[in-house]
Structure 1
Amino acid sequence: MPALLRRLCLFALCLALPLRAAELTIDLGHGAQVYRTEQLLARPDARTVNVPDDVSFKRAMHYRAVPLKALLQGAHAEDALLFVASDGFAAEMPAAQILQAHGSEAWLAVEDPAHPWPSIAGNKVAGPFYVVWTDPQAMRIGPEQWPFQLAAIRRLAPAAERFPAIVPDPALKPDSAIRRGFAVFQRTCFACHTLNGQGEARLGPDLNVPHSPTEYLRESLLRAYIRDPQSLRLWPQARMPGFDRQALSDAELDELLAYLRHMSGRKAYPGRP
């Protein structure tokens, strides 16, 4: 057989082979469940979801998606859930936010290998699985709660139990600004940053050791950086999103900074007693 004909035959064979499906692992503590792309796309509860202002694509998008809570059978409202992406991002969310949603609804968008999604900024890909929200403003869903390149979902004990070095002084009153800032930190920062060397994420630097950003940036610059990272350091390849007032109110930003200033006096270095 002539070489050109052999190449054409091999090319036709490759086209005829099914595209390799991706897998998502969900472990809620009673045995891991693995979902494949074709299984999810064929589910009877899969539907087309319209997202008018997608956080990652910065435009309207349409997805084939499954209600996320339908995949979390066995989870409890008091559980914490860790969403692990293949690029190192790890977002922790309370299960109640998904199971007992009031207005906003979480969906697992599933990329069809035959019809891949476009690239997002920096030629990154969002697939194969992506958590998207309808009506995110109803529950003030922040950008860190839209994990893409999703590979696994795991049930966790509360962050304070797993990572004691991120917990503020136990003597603080429950309603103190610092304790409220600790909750804001877990929601907005812990998906990308560690603190005192503790945490699951590996995208951003540690926010307390060797120095807290409250120690080397004056407050006005730190506030501007959190609102719009490019306003302080022009770096098109940077991965940190800005947090506008819809995602992070001025009061919540005050509380976050109170927590970070407090923790700058409670440093714990990884590997040291």
Structure 2
Amino acid sequence: MNPRIACIALLSLLPFSQLHAAELTLELGNGSQRLSSAQLLAHPQAQTVEINNDVSYKRRMHYRAIPLAALLEGVQPGDHLQLVASDGFAAELSAAPVLSKTGSQAWLAIEDPAQPWPPLGKGKPSAGPFYLVWLKPAASHIGPEQWPFQLAAIRKLPPVAQRFPQLLPAVAASPAATAGFAQYQKNCMACHRLNGAGDSQFGPDLNIPHNPTEYFSSDFLTRYIRDPQSLRRWPQGKMSGFAVEVLSDKALGELVEYLRHMAGRKVKP
């Protein structure tokens, strides 16, 4: 028998869950650990959670999930986490809201291969195999960028300013530009790099070769951030808008001021 056919025949005898096993990598400063979807579904703290307004599915969803804090052995509230998706999306997040027992509650949703989640859209995969979801996200000001789906790895890393000094505004920067650096980390860095700095592989660099404040005139940049598809629409456009409930007018102004400031601080990668 052809070896390839024999291999396919053998695979067909395996349980569905084994054929579609997924692994989540944890790098928390004590080595690397890989946990399979089967292991996580069998976790003693696993339970069904209801998410009333799911960021990715835009509707109520139910997931089998475990508190993310249950996986973060040794992580302290002052630590910094990076959550990396399989498509290169890399969310930066303080460990404090993840570990807190009050306010927002972070849960790792695990897709059961025997009961797959719906696709995110026509011709798209689901949000699985792992997805960070939140109960009461507004309590800790959790934004859409802190809901990474298709999650592949969780890492404990030094803070962004320490890892990427080329992102820092000048010491003499305006208070608005300094505040905008925090908004950039929360809302932009998961998809974009700036001055070549960052771990995301998802979107274009926001300063090299040109900063958006250099080619968006008047109020068009703020309009674009609010609703990208209202200014230019194309099938491959992936950026979603930031509603005022997610990014206030004040915070948006600070973000734009930071970008404008960094246009004068280009550092070629």
Normalising by structure 1, report the TM-score. Answer: 0.90
1:70 maps to 2:108: no
Counterpart of 2:261?
Answer: 262
Indicate if the aligned counterparts of 1:102 and 1:139 stay in contact, CA closer than 8 A: no
2:57, 2:220 → 1: CA distance? 27
Task: Note closer, same or farther for the CA distance 1:194–1:12 as it changes in structure 2 (3 Å cut).
Answer: closer
Return the offset for 1:219: 3.7
Ranges in structure 1 where 5+ consecutive residues have no aligned partner: 1-5
Counterpart of 1:118?
Answer: 118
1:29 maps to 2:24: no
Counterpart of 1:3?
Answer: none
Counterpart of 1:54?
Answer: 54
Counterpart of 1:147?
Answer: 148
Task: Note closer, same or farther for the CA distance 1:257–1:39 as it changes in structure 2 (3 Å cut).
Answer: same
Task: Note closer, same or farther for the CA distance 1:252–1:48 as it changes in structure 2 (3 Å cut).
Answer: same
Indicate if the aligned counterparts of 1:140 and 1:246 stay in contact, CA closer than 8 A: no
Tell me the C-alpha RMSD between the 2 structures: 1.9
Counterpart of 2:208?
Answer: 209
Return the offset for 1:12: 6.8
Indicate if the aligned counterparts of 1:40 and 1:46 stay in contact, CA closer than 8 A: yes
Ranges in structure 2 where 5+ consecutive residues have no aligned partner: 1-5
2:193, 2:16 → 1: CA distance? 46
Residues 72-105 of structure 1: CA distance to partner in whole angstroms, max 9, x if unpaired? 1111111111111111111110111211264211
Residues 120-156 of structure 1: CA distance to partner in whole angstroms, max 9, x if unpaired? 0351321100000111122221111100111100111
Q: Which amino acid aligns with 2:259?
A: L
Return the offset for 1:19: 3.3
1:90, 1:17 → 2: CA distance? 27
Return the offset for 1:14: 5.1
Return the offset for 1:240: 1.1
Return the offset for 1:17: 7.6
Return the offset for 1:233: 1.1
Q: Which amino acid aligns with 2:236?
A: Q
Normalising by structure 2, report the TM-score. Answer: 0.92
Return the offset for 1:237: 3.4
SS in 1 for 2:13: helix
1:131 maps to 2:124: no
Return the offset for 1:111: 0.3
Q: Which amino acid aligns with 1:100?
A: S
1:109, 1:19 → 2: CA distance? 20
Indicate if the aligned counterparts of 2:192 and 2:200 stay in contact, CA closer than 8 A: yes
Moved more, 206-215 or 25-34: 25-34
* 1:145-184 equivalent positions in 2, closer than 5 A: 145-172=146-173, 176-184=175-183
SS in 2 for 1:25: strand
Return the offset for 1:229: 1.0
Identity %: 57
Indicate if the aligned counterparts of 2:85 and 2:150 stay in contact, CA closer than 8 A: yes
2:97, 2:146 → 1: CA distance? 10
SS in 2 for 1:121: coil
Counterpart of 1:220?
Answer: 219
Indicate if the aligned counterparts of 1:19 and 1:114 stay in contact, CA closer than 8 A: no
Moved more, 252-261 or 135-144: 135-144
1:256, 1:210 → 2: CA distance? 19
